[in-house]
Structure 1
Amino acid sequence: MNIRLATKEDLPAVLELNAAALPHVSDVTLSDMRRFLKQADPFLIIESKEEIAGFMIVLQKGLEYDSLNYAFFCNNYSDFDYVDRIVISEKFRGQKFGTALYDHLFSTSEKKIITCEVNIKPPNPDSFAFHNMLGFNQVAEQVTGNGTKSVAMMVREK
């Protein structure tokens, strides 16, 4: 297991992993991933034997990013790391890759608050249980997509 920063060469594989994780993450284009590569701090890749097993995109407050979920945290917290998405390939789930990415973030971040959201509608009970196990607590619920989506707004204080 190896954690490193993403490169532009990783983006096609990351885009495939993201597409495989729908509807639990939002659909994005290669252009969106290029923007994340420039804006994310950090944009992490986790590998197993040089195969990309997953990724994590973390954003800081103050970016121009059209996301109601990101805006919620910007409007309610003064400083934080926002985990925009974490995706682990089906092949590597249950092997602690997600935990390793979060442990890396927890140990390297200077922020006292880590934020994310987890789908309630459509439901993502595995992600909800995973984030609870890591110490995240739901602080609000936000409805988006004209009522078709609902997310738990989650916060972990270090």
Structure 2
Amino acid sequence: MPLAPRPLTPTDLPAALALNNAAAPHVNVLDADGLARLWAWAAVALGARGDDGGLLGFLLALPPDLPYDSANYRWVVGRRPQFLYVDRVVVTPGARGRGVGRALYRAALDAARCEGYASVVCEVNERPPNPGSLAFHAALGFGVIGRCDHGPHDKAVVFLERAGAA
């Protein structure tokens, strides 16, 4: 099934919120206001839809100059000058392995290149472990640039980067 991600719109946000929160703990749970704020800040906000128009997945990527109170985002801001930060990419379980995530990332990488970002950066949980996401990002050419352990009762993440967006 060839996918052509389209801009994520305000009418997509309820479905995106449901997908996001069903994917916990691999992404942080959000309320409607939190998702709307990330969507409004996003330099890239994409959705992939199935033949029935239902949302199969979405990606939100942020520029480096936001007042975003995320320890992971702040970690990247302090270490990379010009980046596009993938805050979250979520694919519904039934669509995994069908190219949805790859199509979302391909479109985000194209947008990053067109907008002149030096790299695309994200983080993936190491605690709780998310080996599928680590393998997915490695296959897309992302490499490790650092790690952050938020404490024994919280998440530990690995930061990944793909330099050049082409």
| Distance apart, 1:54 and its partner CA | 0.3
Query: When the two structures are superposed, what TM-score results if normalisation uses the length of structure 2?
Result: 0.92
Q: SS in structure 2 opposite 1:76?
A: coil
Deviation by residue 1:111-147 (Cα, 9 ceiling, x = unmatched): 1210000000000000000001111111111012555
For 2:54, the equivalent position in structure 1 comes to: 51
TM, length-normalised to structure 1:
0.96
Answer yes or no: is the 8 Å Cα contact 1:46–1:52 preserved in 2.
Answer: yes
Q: Does 1:93 align with 2:96?
A: yes
Contact persistence 2:4–2:103 (CA under 8 A)? no
Tell me: CA distance 1:145–1:54, structure 2 relative to 1, closer, same or farther (3 Å): farther
Deviation (angstroms), 1:148: 2.3
1:67-106 matches, within 5 Å, as 67-106=70-109
How far residue 108 of structure 1 moved from its aligned partner, in angstroms, is 2.1
Matched residue count: 158
Which residue pairs with 2:125 in the alignment? 119
Larger CA deviation: 79-88 vs 136-145 = 136-145
Partner of 2:87, secondary structure, is strand
Q: Which runs of 5+ in 2 are unaligned?
A: none
Quote the residue 2:42 is aligned against.
40
Q: Percent identity?
A: 36
The one-letter amino acid of 2:124's match is V
**Which runs of structure 1 show a deviation greater than 3 angstroms over 4 or more consecutive aligned residues?**
none
Structure with greater proportional strand content: 1
Q: 1:84, 1:116 within 8 Å by CA — same for their partners in 2?
A: yes
Residue number among 155, 158, 163 corresponding to 1:157 in the alignment: 163
1:26 aligned to 2:28? yes
Contact 2:45 2:60 in 1 (8 A): yes
Between the aligned partners of 1:147 and 1:153, the Cα distance in structure 2 is 19
Structure 1: segments with no counterpart, 5+ residues: none
